A = this chain, B = another copy of it.
Amino acid sequence: MTAKRGNRVQKYGELDLIARIQERTAAKNRSVRLGIGDDCAILQIPAETEMVITTDFSLEGRHFRRDWHTPESVGHRCLARGLSDIAAMGARPIAAFLSLAMPAPLDVRWMDRFMTGFGELAKRWGTELAGGDTSEAPGAEILADVVVTGVVKRGQALRRSDAKVGDGLYVTGSLGGSAVELSGLAASRTRSRRWMGVSEAQAHTFPDPRIGVGRALVRRRLATACMDLSDGLSSDVRRLCEFSGVGVEIDVARLPLATGATIEQALHGGEDYELLFTARADARVPRKLAGVAVSCVGRVRPSSFGVKLLAEDGSARELRAGGWEHFRKRERS
C-alpha cells in the first residue's frame, strides 16, 4: 500500500508523517498520474518505452551509521543507490517509493533532515516520491527500502550481459573517493557535512548518480554493456564478466584515482556509484560525457583469460574480488 494516513501514523502522536514527507519532496514528474495516498500509485509511461525498476535496502548498521552519516546524507544515499541503478540502465528516472521504519519514540528532527536530503536529490533528477510505506521499526535501527522506477526507449536499456571480446572497458569519474571519505569519517568521528553540490570530497556522503552519462551512452549508442560500481571495481567487474561470459584486463596505470585514493581503494573500495561500461574497439568514446570524465581502463578478453590486472611493468596478476565484504570488515574494525 502506498504510504498510509491514519492509524499507523497515530502512534507517532498524530503527526502527519506523510504530509511532512511530501512537503520535503516536492519534485513532480508528469508520468506520475496518481501519487501518495491511494492503494497504489499510477504511472503512465511514454509510448515506445520500457520501464526499469530497482529496489535497495538502506539499513542502519549495515548501510549507514547515525554517528558517521548526517540524516541528510542518509536520505541522499538511500535514493542515490537506486538512481545509480537507473543510470546504469541508461534510463531516465520517474518515481521513487520509500518504505521507512523509524524506532519509537520518533526522532522528528532526524526524519525531517533525512527527507530533506532525499528530497533535494529527488528534485535534482525530477524523481517524484509517489508512494511507500511507514511503520514503527521493530528494533532500535532505522530501516529504509527505496524503489526507483525509470524509462528508457524500448530495447535500448544497457545490460551487463552484452560485453564482447575486444571491447574497451571504461569507468566514469574517479575511483576510491568514497573509501577516502569514509576512512576520514571513521578516523575522525566527525560527521559528513551537508551536500556542497557535486564534490569528490563528498563521494561517500553525497554520491552523484551518473544519470546524465547513462542517458548519453544510450543516445549515442556507445555502450555494449553497463553496470554501476556499488560494491567496488574488483567485485563488480566480475559480475559483468560472469553475465557477459567474458574476461577482462585492467591496466592499473589507467585507473582514475580519486584525490588521496590508493590503488587498493580504487580497486576494492565500494560505493563509488560510478558507471562501468564497455564499448566497441572502434567506438569514439569522448573523454567527457554529460560533464563527467570517462576513462578507458582496460579491455574485454575471452572468458578463459579471467580477470587480470596489468601492472606498470607489464606483468599480469589475477584481480581478486575484494569489494564490499572486505570493506565491511574495515568499517567495523
Contacts and interface: CB of A to CB of B under 8 A. Distances in A.
A39 B140 contact: no
B136 A139 contact: no
A143 interface: yes
B43 A11 contact: no
Interface string A19-45: 000000000000001100111111111
A159 interface: yes
Interface string A108-133: 00000000000000000000001111
A143 B231 CA distance: 22
A265 to B, nearest CB: 16
Interface residues of A, number: 80
A56 B323 CA distance: 31
Interface stretch (A83-91, A165-173, A190-198, A215-223): A83-91
A86 B40 CA distance: 7
A contacts with B: majority SS: mixed
Interface stretch (A46-54, A254-262, A298-306): A46-54
Contact of A159 (B38, B57, B88, B147): B38
Nearest to A234: B7
What number of copies of this chain does the assembly contain? 2
Interface stretch (A58-66, A176-184, A200-208, A278-286): A58-66
B11 A325 contact: yes
Nearest to A52: B40
Contact of A99 (B55, B132, B141): B55
A246 interface: no
A12 to B, nearest CB: 11
Interface stretch (A67-75, A235-243, A289-297, A311-319): A235-243
A321 interface: yes
Contacts of A54: 1-2, 39-41, 131
Contacts of A211: none
Contacts of A235: 6-7
Given A8-B324, A43-B53, 17 more contacts: A1-B81, A1-B228, A7-B321, A38-B160, A39-B85, A42-B51, A42-B89, A42-B157, A53-B131, A55-B145, A57-B135, A57-B143, A59-B135, A59-B143, A63-B135, A139-B140, A143-B143
A174 interface: no
Interface string A86-113: 1011010001010101000000000000
Nearest to A98: B55
A159 B324 contact: no
Contacts of A47: 47
